[in-house]
Amino acid sequence: MPSLVLLDATRPGAARSVAHVAERRPAEPAGQGLTPGMVLALQRSAGNSAVSRRLGPEPKAAPQAKDAVVQRCGPTPCDCSAEERAEYESERGGPAPNLQRYEVQDCGATPGAQHPAAEVHAAHGRARTMLSIAEMESATSSDPTVQALARKYFKITVPPVRDTDKKLWFGRVRRVLSAMNSENAKTTYECEPAQSWQDGLCSKGTFAVTILNIHLCPKWWTLNDLDDRAFVLVHEWAHRYGPSVNQILETYCDAKEFGGLSAADLVAEPDAYASYIFELVTGKAPGTTVC
């Protein structure tokens, strides 16, 4: 799972918010006094909805809009149970609109097609759920499982006492988990047709490659277990979104050198994060198919 991440200097960072938007005067026609530049600035800072409200007709009295659910894994939420979904909808008076952000390109549109997009959605949803659980549980330093796996995969003592452990745990591991969890919704996946350098740098034996987008190689589709597929996506998210995580040179978890890496080296290894998250959530170490 090599990564050749070419960072795009124009890629926007965290979403910006508008501190204050002036109220419209009742007698002012919609859009009056807005230059094209002002409209563009409003669009970039507050979004299309704000522009529509500013330029459109004055709306009639209507019930307050429900909070939108950011849906990142297909047409229906895939990271909560039916009971949780029902509870959410009952609290808000019904289902909320879904906003889908991540993209899947060049994949089959139907279940019977080669490399069906639905399977990418399922793996993304599972990876997102695993990562969310891991980030939440890692915040509890007294959890014996967190303590054991922090030692196993990062060689860090948790709760950290030494300054070195504090810097590595809070400044590296926890920071990477947070960044991956907040940024993965921006991912674009591309399904490659052949296992070759010409197709997304999918060299022999490679599951996926990150080159701005995440290129899913044909070998990824040979993984039959959903958790194994999610493991690969989490690995690639670490490449793509993890601050100070290795982008090109890396040591895989199945290499004999992996166990001899220092704590300072392990916090930069994508497989350390993928393995930690995998075992923390599933209760078992990743299998030989991926590690």
Residue 10 lies in a domain: no
CA 260 to CA 255: how far, in whole Å? 10
Residue 193 lies in a domain: yes
Question: Do residues 76 and 138 share a domain?
Answer: no
CA 262 to CA 255: how far, in whole Å? 14
Residue 249 lies in a domain: yes
Find how far residue 234's CA is from the centre of its chain: 8
Query: Mean pLDDT, 10 residues at a time, over the chain (291 residues)?
Result: 43 32 34 52 48 47 41 43 60 52 84 88 96 96 97 98 97 97 94 94 95 95 97 97 92 95 98 98 96 90
Give the Å distances, CA to CA, from 16 to 41, 49, 94, 208, 224: 12, 15, 29, 31, 40
Contacts of 163 (CB under 8 A, 6+ apart): none
Contacts of 95 (CB under 8 A, 6+ apart): 89
Question: Do residues 229 and 139 share a domain?
Answer: yes
Task: Report the pLDDT value the prediction gives residue 38, as an integer from 0 to 100.
Answer: 58
Task: Report the pLDDT value the prediction gives residue 84, as an integer from 0 to 100.
Answer: 62
Residue 58 lies in a domain: no
Question: Do residues 202 and 183 share a domain?
Answer: yes
On the 0-12 / 13-18 / 19+ scale of CB atoms within 10 A, 23 is exposed
On the 0-12 / 13-18 / 19+ scale of CB atoms within 10 A, 65 is exposed
Question: Do residues 167 and 93 share a domain?
Answer: no
Residue 12 lies in a domain: no
Last residue of a domain, one of 100, 123, 140: 100
Task: Report the pLDDT value the prediction gives residue 65, as an integer from 0 to 100.
Answer: 42
Instruction: List the one residue out of 245, 253, 246, 255 whose CA is nearest residue 272.
Output: 253
Range of the domain at 92: 69-100
Tally the C-alpha atoms within 13 A of residue 288's C-alpha that lie toward its C-beta: 0
Question: Do residues 92 and 107 share a domain?
Answer: no
Q: What's the chain's Rg over C-alpha atoms?
A: 22
Question: Do residues 220 and 276 share a domain?
Answer: yes
Task: Report the pLDDT value the prediction gives residue 173, as an integer from 0 to 100.
Answer: 98
CA 20 to CA 278: how far, in whole Å? 43
Taking every pair of Cα atoms in the chain, the longest distance, rounded to a whole number of angstroms, is 74
Residue 237 lies in a domain: yes
CA 123 to CA 283: how far, in whole Å? 18
Instruction: List the one residue out of 81, 188, 69, 175 whose CA is nearest residue 124.
Output: 188
Task: Report the pLDDT value the prediction gives residue 45, as an integer from 0 to 100.
Answer: 46
CATH number of the domain to which 151 belongs: 3.40.390.10
- Tokens 């075992």 appear where? 279
Question: Do residues 113 and 84 share a domain?
Answer: no
Task: Report the pLDDT value the prediction gives residue 114, as an integer from 0 to 100.
Answer: 86
Last residue of a domain, one of 100, 116, 146: 100
Tally the C-alpha atoms within 13 A of residue 181's C-alpha that lie toward its C-beta: 17
* Token pair of 280 as six digits: 């923390």
**Residues 43-58, buried b or exposed e (16+ Cβ, 10 A)?**
eeebeeeebebbeeee
Residue 19 lies in a domain: no
Question: Do residues 96 and 120 share a domain?
Answer: no
Task: Report the pLDDT value the prediction gives residue 16, as an integer from 0 to 100.
Answer: 29
Residue 213 lies in a domain: yes
Q: How many domains does the chain have?
A: 2
Question: Do residues 253 and 193 share a domain?
Answer: yes
